[in-house]
Amino acid sequence: MAEPLAIDFDWLRDNPLPVHPNNTDKNSRGHVMAVGGSRTVPGGLRLTGEAALRAGAGKLRFATIASLAIPLGVLVPEAGMIALPEDDDGEIDRAAVETILASMTRCDALVVGPAMTSETAAAALVESILGQPQAGTSVVIDAAAIAAAANARDQIERHGGRVVLTPNGGELARLLDAPAADIEGDPRSAVQRAVDRTGAVVVVKGPNTLVATPEGNLLAYSGGGIGMATGGSGDVLAGVLAGLLARGLAPLEAACWAIWLHGEAGRRLTERLGPIGYLSRELLPLIPELMRARH
């Protein structure tokens, strides 16, 4: 297998971020809908949504369980809210599917799964979303929702290359129904198997983050440091990715930029605060700084 291409300054220069003219309004910068949250992890979706805004998306809506809608809306006043029915376990109920599908028609990027803890509840959403592709809408599948993509290649391909999966090592093992040791021992082979199985762009998070596409692209980023291994870090990455997709980047470019911005934010916090102990929410204010530095 060929060596992956490095996501470095040369790659960033050759694949620049979109430049929006001064007369751009919020609608022209893209609309993100973040679907997720649960009573078990009530704050995680905030990280995803704010990350999308920090990455430059113009509008944000949260779709989450009704008991979280008002608290989350107060916490992130820049966002609109969709209050969804919840099941007895505090997860999004499958009865919410029609509401989500109707709202998808008005978004440029959808991210589903952050802060959900039930793969069963997440799977019901993902199966319906993948079965109803919306023209121009990119889909990021994260966290508990990833396992539902294992047998959904036909549905994913109907989205025209606009589906991105963001598993960590454990989630990738479940997606492939493989021992975790196999994933750790040969991550390049594992990410390629995930692409072959799902037909999606796949980002595998870890100390050496990989991104692979159905067209045969393989890229890698090594950085960020051990401090990135903390709760909520993946929620931030999913949001940055969704924000860049909403702004108009193609899935491969959006994935690589999101990986770099996320990792470099961790590197800066390591320099300021130390290698461990910083919080995932502290990554968020650094995203605009890093984008400005690379323009």
Count the helix, strand and coil residues of the chain and give each as a percent rounded to the nearest 5. Answer: 50, 15, 35
Average pLDDT of the chain is 96
Residue 171 clears pLDDT 70, i.e. is over it: yes
Task: Give residue 2's pLDDT band: very low, low, confident or very high (50, 70, 90).
Answer: confident
CB half-sphere exposure, 157, CA atoms < 13 A? 12
d(CA 133, CA 104): 9
Helix ranges (DSSP H) in 131-250: 153-157, 169-176, 180-185, 187-198, 233-246
pTM: 0.97
Angle between the 119-130 and 97-104 helix axes, to the nearest 10 degrees?
40
Task: Give residue 170's pLDDT band: very low, low, confident or very high (50, 70, 90).
Answer: very high
- What's residue 169's pLDDT? 94
Q: Which domains does the chain have, with CATH numbers?
A: 27-205+223-290 (3.40.1190.20)
Sequence-distant (≥ 6) Cβ neighbours of residue 2 within 8 angstroms: 218
What is the average per-residue pLDDT within 227-233? 96
- What's residue 1's pLDDT? 63
DSSP 145: G
The three-point CA angle 45-49-54 to 5° equals 140
Residue 31 clears pLDDT 80, i.e. is over it: yes
Residue 293 clears pLDDT 90, i.e. is over it: no
- What's residue 295's pLDDT? 67
Token match 């802060």: residue?
A: 115
